Amino acid sequence: MENKMNLTLLADFYEITMANGYLEHGVADQIAYYDMFFRRIPDNGGFAIMAGLEQVIDYLKNLHFTREDIAYLRSKKCFSEKFLDYLANFEFCCDVWAIPEGMPVFPGEPLLTVRGPAIQAQFLETMVLLTISHQCLIATKANRIVQAAEGRAVMEFGSRRAQGADGAIMGARAAYIGGCVGTACTLVDRDMKIPALGTMAHSWVQMFPSEEEAFRNYARTYPDNCTLLIDTYNVLQSGLPNAIKIFKEEVVPRGFRPKGVRIDSGDIAYLSKKARAILDAAGFEDCGIVASNSLDEYIIRDILDQGGKVDSFGVGERLITAKSDPVFGGVYKLAAVEQDGELIPKIKVSENVEKITNPGFKVPWRLYERETGKAIADVITLYGEVIDESEPYEIFDPSYTWKRKIVENFVAKPLQVPIFEKGQCVYESPSLQEIQQFCKEQIDTLWEEVRRFEHPHKYYVDLSQNLWDMKHALLEKYCVNCAEKMKKSK
């Protein structure tokens, strides 16, 4: 789905003031490398899921400054006419590499890398971060919920609780990548072909003189897709008996079977067990039970652990807002520049070790066991380094370098693929169905210990020796204290 409005100025103002300054001081055309990565997995999980790339591509394809944009910037009286003329004739010319959507990803590795004139490459920060961070966040949360459901369908029901229209639309897209079977959002079905799902609200039941009449009218309208909401008044004493009556009188005689009943309140584990027994006794063993009501992965897990007989889940606010941990924390950092044909690595130093960046033009790899196909670890190398699968390869923890491991009989795959070359898109985005299937396949390459909710096994993202040496040399150059910390960790 393409943007319906020009989002070029959806940028932090300092992106534009810096671009103006780069032009003024003669570094606008200097080639710069930027990495987009994240530092922490939401909910202290074992992995995140890459998403949002297609929308970044749409943004970059349509990146231009309108006359209205130029007039607005001129009114700020802080930009040169030379700069405004540059923007009026703007043509995107950067190279972009990215990890495909649906791939499990980990802190520190570049999800997206941009190479191009500094005036352009740094300008992309805001849109790259907000687009990828948001969809990674929701796809990751959705997948946790899908895992908790243990093969039962999960429907994204959060449009009404999302943070704005874009949060609802792109959140539904990300949730589908993460494994949801459909969405409550009709617009997303129309534009993205994600199945729109839903039955009735409590107001339907309240609209008619009785619950029985409300069910009867719904069943007559939708006999082939009849799911009834049974908790408006009382699940076991009213809703379920009336539903069974209507199934027998209105659905079955028309040659159909009831699709299900939905429980939206109360003790879902207890009510679903009771409902299952009553439905089975009435001859409706094939009638599903749908649960909703502020669900998340922990509540769903508890319902199933307690023997709940739920066949599918509708999950709203806690999915679409990633309520338990709603910030993905993506960052976009300068990693290198080119000067007189030479690559000059750049590093951001901090007293917080996790905020020290990895310098240089890099390539993230994933190492898989050849025999099982399971992921061993990720390794970030300098561009041009080759990981030879025919030879043993030593990996080590970049913070605690004495933790080392020799890897043999493995397959090494680079994670990023080319997206833009000199401003021209060279990547064809897969369909959402293909992305969802790819996501499922790639998550299956992770060990169960990495996928668990609490205290997952740490999946290592290591640095090649050459990259670690480069980083250490820069730390020694810029920060004696940081270098000492690195030496102690070694």
Helices (H), 117-255: 118-121, 125-148, 164-177, 186-192, 202-207, 211-221, 240-246
> Do residues 176 and 183 touch, judged by C-beta distance below 8 A?
yes
pLDDT reported for residue 399: 87
Task: Please state the separation of Cα 419 from the chain's center in Å.
Answer: 18
Decide if pLDDT at 483 tops 60: no
- Write down the pTM of the prediction: 0.95
Burial of 153 (0-12, 13-18, 19+ CB in 10 A): middle
> Do residues 370 and 74 touch, judged by C-beta distance below 8 A?
no
Name the band, by pLDDT with cuts 50, 70 and 90, for residue 1: very low
> Do residues 177 and 210 touch, judged by C-beta distance below 8 A?
no
Least trusted range by pLDDT, from 198-202, 203-207, 356-360, 462-466: 198-202
Q: What is d(CA 114, CA 212) in angstroms, rounded to the nearest whole number?
A: 61
Average pLDDT, stretch 189-201?
Answer: 95
Decide if pLDDT at 479 tops 80: no
Name the band, by pLDDT with cuts 50, 70 and 90, for residue 484: low
Q: What is d(CA 256, CA 225) in angstroms, rounded to the nearest whole number?
A: 8
Average pLDDT, stretch 43-56?
Answer: 98
The residue count of the chain comes to: 490
Domains of the chain in start order, with CATH, are 13-138+326-489 (3.20.140.10), 199-293 (3.20.20.70)
What are the DSSP calls for 414-474, one per residue?
Answer: E--EEEEETTEE--PPPPHHHHHHHHHHHHTTS-HHHH-SSSPPPPPEEE-HHHHHHHHHH
Name the band, by pLDDT with cuts 50, 70 and 90, for residue 487: low
**DSSP E strand boundaries for 281-401:** 288-291, 312-315, 330-339, 342-345, 362-369, 375-382, 393-396
Query: Which of 290, 271, 112, 133 lies closest to 197 in space, CA to CA?
Result: 290
pLDDT reported for residue 354: 86
pLDDT reported for residue 485: 56
Decide if pLDDT at 238 tops 80: yes
Q: What is d(CA 397, CA 403) in angstroms, rounded to the nearest whole number?
A: 6
| Six-digit token string for 356 | 């020290």
pLDDT digits (tens, 9 = 90+) for 391-449: 999 999 998 999 999 999 999 999 999 999 999 999 999 999 999 999 999 999 999 99
pLDDT digits (tens, 9 = 90+) for 319-340: 999 999 999 999 999 999 999 9
Decide if pLDDT at 3 tops 50: no
What percent of the chain shows pLDDT beyond 90? 93
pLDDT reported for residue 199: 87
> Do residues 42 and 140 touch, judged by C-beta distance below 8 A?
yes
pLDDT digits (tens, 9 = 90+) for 269-295: 999 999 999 999 999 999 999 999 999
Decide if pLDDT at 489 tops 60: no
